[in-house]
Amino acid sequence: MRPVDSLLDFLRAEEARGVRNVHLDDQAKEVLRELHRRARVAKPSAAPSPRPAAPSASAAAAPSASRMPMASSAPVSSPASASPARIAVPSLGGPAEKIAALAEQAAHWAPARQLGTLRDRLVFSAGDPAARLMLLGEAPGYHEEQQGTPFAGPAGQKLDDILRAMGLDRSQVYISNLVKCRPASPGQTTNNRKPTPEEMACWLPFVRAEISVLRPSCIIALGASAAEGLLGLSGAVAAMRGRWHDFEGIPVRVTYHPAYLLRGTSGNSDKRAVWEDMLEAMEKLGLPISDKQRGYFTKPG
């Protein structure tokens, strides 16, 4: 990838986080002037085309996983000069074809390879690419990497329970993660780690592209990392939840990660808090809500 592409990716990620001004020192200005001069003298045919091949097949549901073209499941570290660093959302086709095209490009995403801190198996998304509700987690873990689909382990079962309580199932919503490959750590077996800000920023252009395809009625950010990566928020989920945020005109609700509800330290009040966020989402989606549903988790326990 050319340095200018890294710079553009960084600036797009900053813009997505709401940053509107960047400080440029004299040296940075000179580097930009030099890039500008080179671009003006470069032959048009010398510029690599950022547009990958059009997707060949249409998918009925969101594609979940494919292997990035690497030799092993070690952290991604090989040079990626032949890999694209720009994302192209096809203008033709339906949401399923567009999400399939994004997944295909994600499998060759140069910035992720260049970080060298992520494993190589791509876990893109699951569910309905035309869904009105999008759920966003932080990153695949051991179970997701094994099964090639987001939220495949115990946290995923908890998420399924929550969806069932809402009268929904996985096939009716779109489930994705901010980071599309499992964060690597030395001697890793089944242990997972949170994605770093760099890893989240590197994949944010794909999340933006997914959102631009779906234009969901609302997004639920599951946990602090998803909220940090998508909305640029920091701090505790308790301070972020309970109100609507905005991502490029789409209402976003932040709530506790399902894995948090599985911890011994979380109690009925946390379950109720998640449920209240889900009730808000149901209202936003215009889903019917029964008295029984309204009353879930109101008893202390």
- Nearer CB in complex with ligand URA: 1/118: 118
Q: Which of 120, 128, 144, 210 binds ligand URA (CB under 6 A)?
A: 144
- Residue 237 and residue 221 in contact, taking contact as beta carbons nearer than 8 Å: no
Query: What is the x/- site pattern for ligand URA, positions 173-212, by CB under 6 A?
Result: ----x-----------------------------------
Q: Which amino acid is at 144?
A: E
- 155 near ligand URA, judged by CB under 6 A: yes
Sequence length of the chain is 301
Which CB, 152 or 273, lies closer to ligand URA?
A: 152
Number of residues that bind ligand URA (CB under 6 A): 10
Residue (of 49, 252, 227) closest to 134 by Cα position: 252
**How far apart, in whole angstroms, are the C-alpha atoms of residue 133 and residue 135?**
7
Least distance from ligand URA to the Cβ atom of residue 192, Å: 8
Interatomic CA distance for residues 265 and 168, integer angstroms: 27
Tokens of 226: 């998803």
- Residue number with CB closer to ligand URA (77 or 146): 146
CB of 42 vs ligand URA, minimal distance in Å: 42
Instruction: Please give the Cα distance from 92 to 64 (Å, whole number).
Output: 21
Which of 93, 131, 89 lies closest to 106 in space, CA to CA? Answer: 89
Residue 260 contacts ligand URA per CB under 6 A: no
Applying CB under 6 A, the residues found at the interface with ligand URA are: 137-141, 144, 150-151, 155, 177
